Chain A
Amino acid sequence: IKEEKQRLRKEKKQQKKNKEKKDEKASHESEKKKNKEEKPVSAAAPASQPPTQPSTQKAVPAPAPVPVPVSETPALADKPAKTKADLKAERRARQEAERASKQAATSKPKAPPNELQPVVKRLPEHVQVDNPGVLKKLAKKLERQQIPLRLDYGYKVSLFSHLHQYSRKAPLTQQLSIPSTVIHPAIVRLGLQYSQGIVAGSNARSVALLHAFKQVIRDYTTPPNEELSRDLVNKLKPYISFLSQCRPLSASMGNAIKYIKKEISNIPSQCKEEEAKRKLLSCIDCYIDEKIILAAKAIAKSSIEKISNGDVILVYGCSSLVNHILCEAFEKNIKFRVIVVDSRPRLEGREALRRLVQRGISCTYVLISAVSYILPEVSKVFLGAHALLANGYVMSRVGTSQIALVAKAFNVPVLVCCETYKFCERVQTDSFVSNELDDPDDLIVTRKGKTQLEHWQDVPSLGLLNLVYDVTPPDFVDLVITDLGMIPCTSVPVVLRVKNVDQ
């Protein structure tokens, strides 16, 4: 492969730099599709090398750059892109020949039709925290972007030692200068709000992120000799690193970022800056309108059909979408009551309870330990989701899979409400590989003046685990209500495929 790469590079140098736009577009699209699956296509690695960093390792089949920057490369100006496109066409032809002769294909079933080479699986950085090599690369990347590195805190339970664990009392702003010059103030504010939990919940985080990006775009001026479509994306990269240091990005945020980057890259180079900015701002507004506000309306409309008079609905935690649905159903004068299930340490159910009771809905409040006692009364379970994975698993707040399991045992239908922009191409079957560890000190509680866990760090055999998410298998979910309609859990990959083809 090394020799082939070298050969290809030589060929690229010899090739002329005029190419039809069609080829370019086709390669752009295929590149984007590949990037969406987050697979480090070995084709992408050499492609990213000539236009971007020359220091990328060549020997390593899994290149250092994160999938996100690779998606930038299609947005390059004509000349390098054309040669890259040539490179792509070459490689595709070569690999197709290889495949035909080898009959070896380890690519995923939903790979786009023109991608046939064997793929190398690469794990994202945030699940390899116990690998010092990965940590070093991360530190180097952050240093380059002038973003401070947030250190892990406390003892990590061994099963989850591959994940980050941060302390809320050590915000990233400690190491930043005041006033922040490297990072836009709106992003610093957002990062603080994420790490302190002021903005929590998948939808809220995405909306807040897009709001911050709007401020960034408003304050952005193109430096001389640079193109907005390329420079703005490069400006956003350190901001995204900063935000993911404050709190790991959610799937919905990841999709929103992809969308924004695509929109920015698609700005034609002859577009004036004011117009481009206006266009981007309206794109963001459009995205939020379509994917969040209207989707919520559509989902509410479909869900209301499923709620009938006399229903007892069980909800878990505080999902903005489920609360919206219940409020809408109440407006339509359907007579139902709600049981809110809550769990420590977040106790988000209290907020859900407040919002529902404020509207006038009669509610019952229990902790998750009582769920099997209360389920005989329940007629339906409505759950919100953080993300829907490609194999039909539902990723949601920790405790959701428990509720779904118990509901299944009692034969109570479980309905998951989720907008399509939260659909994610990741595949996960357990809650261990990719999760989020929250501040372990949240588990410390003071009762009657005594704080038992106050000195937990002094006890060597004690570890506090504060998980945030868990995955629910599709067997426990009866229906997924999305803005595209009501689909069974196993149809999620179909939706993803349809979405990709559309884009």
Chain B
Amino acid sequence: MELQAVLMAAGGGSRMTDLTYNTPKPMLPVGNKPLMWYPLNLLERVGFEEVIVITTKEVQKMMATDPKMKIDVKMKLDVVCIQEDGDMGTADALRHIQQKIKTDVLVVSCDLITDVALHEVVDLFRAHNATLAMLMSNAHEFTETVPGQKGKKKTAEQRDFVGVDQSGKRLLFMANEADLEDGLSIRKSIMRKHPRMHIKTGLVDAHLYCLKKAVVDFLADNKSISSIRGELVPYLVRKQFSKTTNSPKIKDDNLKQLLISSRDEPLLQLAQERSCWNDHRGDMSEAYHGGKLRCYVHIIDQGLCCRVNTLAAYIEANRLAPKLFEEPAVHPSAVISERCQMGSDSIIGALCQVADKTSIKRSTLGNSTTVKEKVKVTNSIIMHGVTIEEGCNIQGSVICSNAVIGRGADLKYCLVGNGQRIEPEGEVHSHKHTK
């Protein structure tokens, strides 16, 4: 077996608590499918037959009842439940399932929606015998106004500094702004080996990692590492160039294991020596500068790669995700009256009821939603089981499940929480209406 897939679905969605306080993040509907369906679909399309899903009991229960998960996902899902208290980081979770890991792993986060050709990342992992291969995307600014935010104030996100070599494939440097208090310092050894480094800050980490099995074993012995993205990846990137890794005498057994690429290492060495290929030129070193620990990144410029971890991202995802699959925008079981104006970029879920003289543009309607007459819904996300009474005008908003919007309500850029009720004739602008 070449690769085992692991889906991390225990994350809390700490940056979008308005949405997740009632629904766990992996089951949030995006384009009327649960969020975790998207990475599972990606894995299934590419050819995986089994996935280990690390999640909470609550999500596991919801998965069992959700029709999309039961019918659409044909792979065998091995669900491993962990505590919900949130203390377990992604690396801790990986350590938890160390016994199940028999070969190299592909770790995917449940909030990744992408149509990337996965073989590009895995090919880097294979061809260069890499220890780590990850996926990143050239992010673009979210243009939609985020509901519940007064004005266009954007929260200052901590930037990530990513340094790649000239080819754009080899990861040389990775640090978060929070860790760089005194400034960005780059070791001389890196500069000597890779005199041309491109440092990028606008990249979105897709949280998709190919890791060697030795890394999982290494984690088992190094209990101090708790997050893959926060600690393990920067650690591996740093270790590529550390003196201890490249010296012939290594005391740390686990590190030594990381450096062995094959059961017939001398033969592999011989092949590399005899090959007339080098990954760089201009200095006297052999290929890879003789380094055995290598980290690679595949950066995509085009195509969809979205991580749904903030409200803005959630809205963006709802707009873009439907383009990923060819299902009809309108579910066959939905009842749409003829005098309804519906844009082609709207999605209507199952068992919806849309009455006359309504206008639905650029919006998503969840399952079993009822929309009465003369309602205008623009640029909004309506989740399951919502009732919208007559004459409402909903613009740029997110209405969570089972909410009721009273007659004639006018909502602009709002966030209505689960089961909330908006009074008739209410006018709400840029407000989060939650409990």
Interface set of A (CB-CB < 8 Å, partner B)? 171, 173-174, 176-181, 185, 188-189, 192-193, 196-201, 203-205, 207-208, 210-211, 214-215, 218, 288, 293, 317-320, 348, 350-352, 354, 357-358
Query: Given A173-B123, A176-B119, A204-B275, A354–B2 Cβ distance below 8 Å?
Result: no
Interface set of B (CB-CB < 8 Å, partner A)? 1-4, 46-49, 106, 117-119, 122-123, 126-129, 262-264, 267-268, 270-278, 281, 284
Q: Are A207 and B270 closer than 8 Å at their CB atoms?
A: yes
Query: Given A178-B3, A351-B277, A196–B127 Cβ distance below 8 Å?
Result: yes
Query: Given A179-B1, A204-B275, A357–B264 Cβ distance below 8 Å?
Result: no
Give the CA-CA distance A199 to B3 in the complex, in Å.
23
Q: How far is the CB of A7 from chain B (nearest CB, A)?
A: 50
Scoring B4, B48, B119, B274 by chain A CB atoms within 10 A of each residue's CB, the highest score goes to: B274
The 10 closest A-B CB pairs, nearest first, are: A177-B47, A318-B276, A179-B2, A204-B275, A185-B2, A204-B274, A179-B3, A208-B271, A320-B274, A207-B271
Q: Are B118 and A178 closer than 8 Å at their CB atoms?
A: yes
Give the CA-CA distance A350 to B281 in the complex, in Å.
8
15 contacts between A and B (CB under 8 A): A174-B119, A176-B47, A178-B46, A178-B122, A179-B4, A192-B127, A198-B128, A204-B271, A204-B273, A207-B267, A218-B263, A320-B276, A351-B277, A352-B276, A357-B284
Q: Are B276 and A200 closer than 8 Å at their CB atoms?
A: yes
Q: Are A199 and B271 closer than 8 Å at their CB atoms?
A: yes
Query: Given A180-B2, A199-B277, A354–B284 Cβ distance below 8 Å?
Result: yes
For residue B2, which residues in chain A have a CB less than 8 angstroms away from its CB?
178-181, 185, 188
A347 to B, closest residue via Cβ: B281
Q: Are A192 and B123 closer than 8 Å at their CB atoms?
A: yes
Q: How far is the CB of B122 from chain A (nearest CB, A)?
A: 5
For residue B284, which residues in chain A have a CB less than 8 angstroms away from its CB?
354, 357-358
Q: Are B46 and A193 closer than 8 Å at their CB atoms?
A: no
Q: Are B267 and A178 closer than 8 Å at their CB atoms?
A: no
Scoring B270, B272, B276, B277 by chain A CB atoms within 10 A of each residue's CB, the highest score goes to: B276
Query: Given A177-B47, A210-B267, A189–B274 Cβ distance below 8 Å?
Result: no
Which listed residue, A181, A198, A211, touches B262 by the CB 8 Å rule?
Answer: A211
For residue B126, which residues in chain A have a CB less than 8 angstroms away from its CB?
173, 185, 188-189, 192
Which listed residue, A178, A211, A318, touches B271 by the CB 8 Å rule?
Answer: A211
A318 to B, closest residue via Cβ: B276
For residue B127, which residues in chain A have a CB less than 8 angstroms away from its CB?
189, 192-193, 196, 198
Give the CA-CA distance A211 to B268 in the complex, in Å.
7
For residue B128, which residues in chain A have a CB less than 8 angstroms away from its CB?
198
For residue B271, which residues in chain A have a CB less than 8 angstroms away from its CB?
199, 204, 207-208, 211
Give the CA-CA distance A204 to B270 in the complex, in Å.
8
A281 to B, closest residue via Cβ: B264
Scoring B49, B117, B271, B284 by chain A CB atoms within 10 A of each residue's CB, the highest score goes to: B271
For residue A288, which residues in chain B have a CB less than 8 angstroms away from its CB?
267, 270
B283 to A, closest residue via Cβ: A354
Q: Are B117 and A179 closer than 8 Å at their CB atoms?
A: no
For residue B46, which residues in chain A have a CB less than 8 angstroms away from its CB?
177-178
B265 to A, closest residue via Cβ: A211
For residue A317, which residues in chain B have a CB less than 8 angstroms away from its CB?
276
Known: A201-B274, A204-B274, A207-B274. 12 other contacts (CB 8 A): A174-B119, A176-B119, A178-B122, A192-B126, A199-B272, A200-B277, A208-B275, A211-B262, A211-B264, A214-B264, A288-B270, A351-B276
Q: How far is the CB of B40 from chain A (nearest CB, A)?
A: 14
Q: Are B117 and A174 closer than 8 Å at their CB atoms?
A: yes
Query: Given A178-B2, A179-B1, A179-B48, A201–B275 Cβ distance below 8 Å?
Result: yes
Which listed residue, B48, B262, B267, B274, touches A203 by the CB 8 Å rule?
Answer: B274
Q: How far is the CB of B210 from chain A (nearest CB, A)?
A: 10
Give the CA-CA distance A340 to B118 in the complex, in Å.
41
Give the CA-CA distance A198 to B274 in the complex, in Å.
11
A317 to B, closest residue via Cβ: B276
Q: How far is the CB of A324 from chain B (nearest CB, A)?
A: 9
For residue A358, which residues in chain B have a CB less than 8 angstroms away from its CB?
284
Query: Given A171-B123, A178-B118, A193-B127, A215–B264 Cβ distance below 8 Å?
Result: yes
Q: How far is the CB of A426 from chain B (nearest CB, A)?
A: 23
Give the CA-CA distance A185 to B276 in the complex, in Å.
23
For residue A205, which residues in chain B have a CB less than 8 angstroms away from its CB?
275
For residue B263, which residues in chain A have a CB less than 8 angstroms away from its CB?
214-215, 218
For residue B264, which residues in chain A have a CB less than 8 angstroms away from its CB?
211, 214-215
Give the CA-CA distance A200 to B278 in the complex, in Å.
10
Q: Are A179 and B274 closer than 8 Å at their CB atoms?
A: no
For residue B4, which residues in chain A have a CB less than 8 angstroms away from its CB?
179
For residue B119, which residues in chain A have a CB less than 8 angstroms away from its CB?
171, 173-174, 176, 178
Q: How far is the CB of A497 from chain B (nearest CB, A)?
A: 29
For residue B49, which residues in chain A have a CB less than 8 angstroms away from its CB?
181
Q: How far is the CB of A256 from chain B (nearest CB, A)?
A: 12
Q: How far is the CB of B158 from chain A (nearest CB, A)?
A: 32
Give the CA-CA distance A188 to B104 in the complex, in Å.
14
Give the CA-CA distance A212 to B273 in the complex, in Å.
16
A198 to B, closest residue via Cβ: B277
Give the CA-CA distance A351 to B287 in the complex, in Å.
10
For residue A218, which residues in chain B have a CB less than 8 angstroms away from its CB?
263
Q: How far is the CB of A194 from chain B (nearest CB, A)?
A: 10
Q: Are B281 and A178 closer than 8 Å at their CB atoms?
A: no
B124 to A, closest residue via Cβ: A192
Q: How far is the CB of A210 from chain B (nearest CB, A)?
A: 7
Q: Are B47 and A178 closer than 8 Å at their CB atoms?
A: yes
A203 to B, closest residue via Cβ: B274
For residue A348, which residues in chain B have a CB less than 8 angstroms away from its CB?
276
Scoring A176, A207, A357 by chain B CB atoms within 10 A of each residue's CB, the highest score goes to: A207
For residue B277, which residues in chain A have a CB less than 8 angstroms away from its CB?
197-200, 351
Scoring A173, A198, A348, A352 by chain B CB atoms within 10 A of each residue's CB, the highest score goes to: A198
B267 to A, closest residue via Cβ: A211
B128 to A, closest residue via Cβ: A198
Q: How far is the CB of A479 from chain B (nearest CB, A)?
A: 23
For residue B48, which residues in chain A have a CB less than 8 angstroms away from its CB?
177-179
Give the CA-CA distance A204 to B274 in the complex, in Å.
5
For residue A351, which residues in chain B have a CB less than 8 angstroms away from its CB?
276-278
Give the CA-CA distance A181 to B274 in the complex, in Å.
30
Give the CA-CA distance A352 to B275 in the complex, in Å.
11
For residue B1, which residues in chain A have a CB less than 8 angstroms away from its CB?
179, 181, 185
For residue A178, which residues in chain B have a CB less than 8 angstroms away from its CB?
2-3, 46-48, 106, 118-119, 122
For residue A189, which residues in chain B have a CB less than 8 angstroms away from its CB?
126-127, 129
For residue B118, which residues in chain A have a CB less than 8 angstroms away from its CB?
178
Q: Are B262 and A199 closer than 8 Å at their CB atoms?
A: no
Q: How far is the CB of A284 from chain B (nearest CB, A)?
A: 9
Give the CA-CA distance A350 to B279 in the complex, in Å.
12
Which listed residue, A177, A199, A214, A357, touches B275 by the CB 8 Å rule?
Answer: A199
Q: Are B278 and A354 closer than 8 Å at their CB atoms?
A: yes
Give the CA-CA distance A133 to B280 in the complex, in Å.
43
A293 to B, closest residue via Cβ: B270
Q: How far is the CB of A166 from chain B (nearest CB, A)?
A: 15
For residue A214, which residues in chain B have a CB less than 8 angstroms away from its CB?
263-264, 267
For residue A179, which residues in chain B have a CB less than 8 angstroms away from its CB?
1-4, 47-48
Give the CA-CA distance A354 to B273 in the complex, in Å.
13
For residue A350, which residues in chain B have a CB less than 8 angstroms away from its CB?
281
B49 to A, closest residue via Cβ: A181
Q: How far is the CB of B209 from chain A (nearest CB, A)?
A: 14
